[in-house]
Amino acid sequence: MLDFNLKGKVFITCKDRSVSYLEKEVRELGYVPEAVTRTGIELRATMEECMDLNLYLRTASQVLYEIKSFYLRNADDIYRRFKAIPWEDYLDVDGYFSVNSVAENESITTPLIVNVKVKDAIVDRFRELKGRRPDSGSDFNGLVFQVYWKETQCIVYINTSGDTLAKHGYRKIPGKAPMMEALAAATIYATEWNTRVPFINPMCGSGTLAIEAALMATKRYPGLYRDHYSFQHILGYDEQAFLAKKKKLESKIMELPDLKIIASDISLQAISFAQENAITAGVDHMIEFHVCDFAETEIPEKPRGVIMFNPEYGERLGENDELEITYKRMGDFLKQKCAGYRGYIFTGNLELAKKIGLKANRRIEFWNGTIDCRLLKYDLYEGKKEE
């Protein structure tokens, strides 16, 4: 049985180019990273603390707790080395588990061979020790083991999250070409928006940016919307401790009566989807939704805040000829109606971005799936810049 208060090596994964925002979150929660890579953060934590990390982090993908690290020469050694691991310390014989792996070794001819050999080693060990075996499959409904094997170094983790943390659980209707919730949170962190000024989101689609802004402002954490994690299937898990943590999340919620978040879209269906998602998240009363062309979006004069677009960029939905006009109109709108604001446009099409007609002060790199994207920042000065 795993001691949930025993500190161990933990690796928190995230999307490439998002690690600086994950590090900010981790430090705000009181943890000190031991190493920071392009796609994650290494630190020391207990399994009890891993539960908290799963509940609180907005920009993470998975929280991995290391259980074994060893030399592994080639595929012929997988079964023997993995069968020697005391899986019965972590997994109930009547439980369910899955294996996921990332392997870079010249002996691997097919990616699934590692998963199969590891699974066989686990079930055979249980058969010899217990006379029966736990169920297994490819989904993440039970305890998830993660294997990282590069050349001759192999690390075995418990994926304490299970399904990715990048989905925050409130978006029941995704809409067209949605932005993943963790990416939306990272881009909002990148804007350095604070809750004392408005957050304006024209072309809001299914509402992810506006909803994430409301969640962040009111300290509503992702764990409020999710009830199932892999750590719940580890031997030693305490359900009452988990419920107490969920209760603590509720106590952290802050209501901000002066919070100003405006989301608009020309599509009635998109606004309907966004409102439904906001209701699920419990923040529908904090967001003003409007059905209108983006150029008709209400822009409060004071205090001036952040205006953020996530337009189509031709990869999945729009055609470039039409979008060139849209991008030019966005630039005109920012220049003519948003003086004093900080403007942001998130796009995966840098050729279209040239049509905006404004010079970006910053070009912040992100990935949206496999699409190379930029969050373009525009300081929209009142009058001349020199003034």
Q: What is the pLDDT along the chain (387 residues), one digit of tens a residue?
A: 899 999 999 999 999 999 999 999 999 999 999 999 999 999 999 999 999 999 999 999 999 999 999 999 999 999 999 999 999 999 999 999 999 999 999 898 887 899 999 999 999 999 999 999 999 999 999 999 999 999 999 999 999 999 999 999 998 887 776 799 999 999 999 999 999 999 999 999 999 999 999 999 999 999 999 999 999 999 999 999 999 999 999 999 999 999 999 999 999 999 999 999 999 999 999 999 999 999 999 999 989 999 999 999 875 554 677 899 999 999 999 999 999 999 999 999 999 999 999 999 999 999 999 999 999 999 998 765 444
Class of domain 8-159: alpha beta
**Range list for CATH 3.40.50.150 in the chain:** 181-219+255-380
Contacts of 193 (CB under 8 A, 6+ apart): 199, 213, 305, 306
Q: Scan for tokens 């409301």, then name that residue.
A: 214
State whether CATH 3.40.50.150 applies to domain 181-219+255-380. Answer: yes
Distance of alpha carbon 334 from alpha carbon 197, whole angstroms? 17
**What SS3 state is found at 358?**
coil
What does pTM read for this prediction?
A: 0.94
CB 184, CB 17: distance < 8 Å: no
**Range list for CATH 3.30.2130.30 in the chain:** 8-159
Q: 161 phi and psi, to 5 degrees?
A: -85, -45
